[in-house]
Amino acid sequence: MRGGRPGRERTSRACDDARVRIVALAGGIGAARFLRGLLAHVADADVAAQVTVIGNTADDITLNGLHVSPDLDTVMYTLGGGIHPLQGWGRADDTRNVQDELTAYGAGTEWFALGDRDIATHLVRTELMAAGATLSEATAVLCARWQPRVRLLPMSDDPVTTMVTIADPTAPGGSRTLHFQEYWVRLGAPAALTVTVAGADKACPAPGVLEAIADAELILLPPSNPVVSIGTILAVPGIREAVLDNRRAPVVGLSPIVGGAPVRGMADRMLAAIGVPTTAAAVAQHYGARAVGGLLDAWLVDTVDAAAVPALTLSGIRTRAVPLLMRDTAHSAAMAAAALSLAAEITAQ
């Protein structure tokens, strides 16, 4: 990562740590699986890396008085070895007794599954925050147990919430605005009219976020939702600017769109709501080329989207086609290796 490109010399204050400083902006499952591959790759390749993950909190929701942070937990559980291996969220070997009882009281949120072990995480977080801790501080306490081998920072300690507006002929005005979780988990992501990030304009980046970006030698955009994961992180004032201001660190993204469809989730609905086609190329153009004020130095598309490589490269985004389906950790490690390889090419220029 350390090369001769002007402005990419390391800052003096981080010189006591010889590890390569990598920052990733992360949503949930896609990011978590990619990051697991990244950690596997740097371990295999004997690269000393310090990874800071800036996690999306705009999906956070309060259920039965519990502060639930789905994306932070998915990253923490995945990297800490506690994730449910098949569903990709929630805890392995979990039970559903608390929620069954909440339902018996008529107090459950049936459409949002809370496992018993998972609830313990939310209880600890909620108790800490009720006692005055920030979400960052609560996250650090939870990570002290899980040891995810990354520094996991929420994007903000302030409440930020993705809201989705859908058509509803029965509602006044013909539309209805919902919490993202209700839109996605309860309704299964119908066509969306607009997506807004409530509270983003008044939110501050969490402590350490801007510093980590400023100090980074590589910034990764994992294959997360460009609108409601990466997009919400970038909507916190100061974060996008910090990425743009760090001219030393290449920004390498991985397409969450493969063959014209999201690998998982509802990115197609969200992209449509902001007028972006559901293609790997369109998402890259949405992020934009660094040379013309956008975010991306480089972009990885799946091999099925290889046809997009020349045009994107021409537009100033160094693009490569590699397999992007994360069937196991070996696959995601190979994706991480490809991302680091692209970054090294840029740094060596």
User: Given the rule CB under 8 A, which residues bind a copy of itself?
Assistant: 64-66, 94-95, 97-102, 104-107, 116-117, 119-121, 123-124, 126-127, 130, 141-142, 145
Close Cβ partners of 140 (under 8 Å, ≥ 6 residues apart): none
Which CB atom, from 44 or from 100, has the smaller least distance to a copy of itself? 100
Do the beta carbons of residue 26 and residue 53 sit within 8 Å? yes
CB-nearer residue toward a copy of itself: 81 or 188: 81
CB 237 within 8 A of CB 209: no
Biggest CA pair distance of the chain: 64
The dihedral formed by the CA atoms of 85, 88, 92 and 96, expressed in degrees to the nearest 10: -140
| Residue nearer to a copy of itself on the CB measure, 91 or 318 | 91
Backbone angles phi, psi at 288, to 5 degrees: 90, 155
Q: How far is the C-alpha of 62 from the C-alpha of 31, rounded, in Å?
A: 23
In the complex with a copy of itself, the residue whose CB is nearer, 13 or 145, is 145
Min dist. Cβ of residue 207 to a copy of itself (A): 22
Closest distance to a copy of itself from the beta carbon of 100 (Å): 8
Task: Transcribe 90-156 into DSSP letters.
Answer: SBTT---HHHHHHHHTT---TTS---HHHHHHHHHHHHHHHTT--HHHHHHHHHHHH--SSEEEESB
Write b or e for each residue in 301-329: b if 16 or more Cβ atoms lie within 10 A of its Cβ, otherwise e.
Answer: bbeebeebbeebeebebbbbbbebebeee
Q: Which helix (H) or strand (E) holds 245?
A: helix 239-245
Distance CA 215, CA 10 (A): 8
The one-letter amino acid at 140: A
Shortest separation between residue 40's beta carbon and a copy of itself, angstroms: 24
The β-bridge relationship of strands 175-179 and 251-254 is: unpaired
Closer to a copy of itself by Cβ: residue 8 or 67: 67
Nearer to a copy of itself by Cβ, of 102 and 289: the residue is 102
The nearest distance, CB 70 to a copy of itself, in angstroms, is 17
CB-nearer residue toward a copy of itself: 89 or 299: 89
User: Smallest gap, in angstroms, from Cβ of residue 177 to a copy of itself?
Assistant: 22
> Looking at beta carbons only, is 80 or 256 nearer to a copy of itself?
80
Please provide residue 226's backbone torsions phi and psi, each rounded to the nearest 5 degrees: -70, -20
Least distance in angstroms from the C-beta of 153 to a copy of itself: 19
Give min distance, CB of 141 to a copy of itself, in A: 7
Question: In the complex, what is the shortest distance from the CB of residue 150 to a copy of itself, in angstroms, rounded to a whole number?
Answer: 19
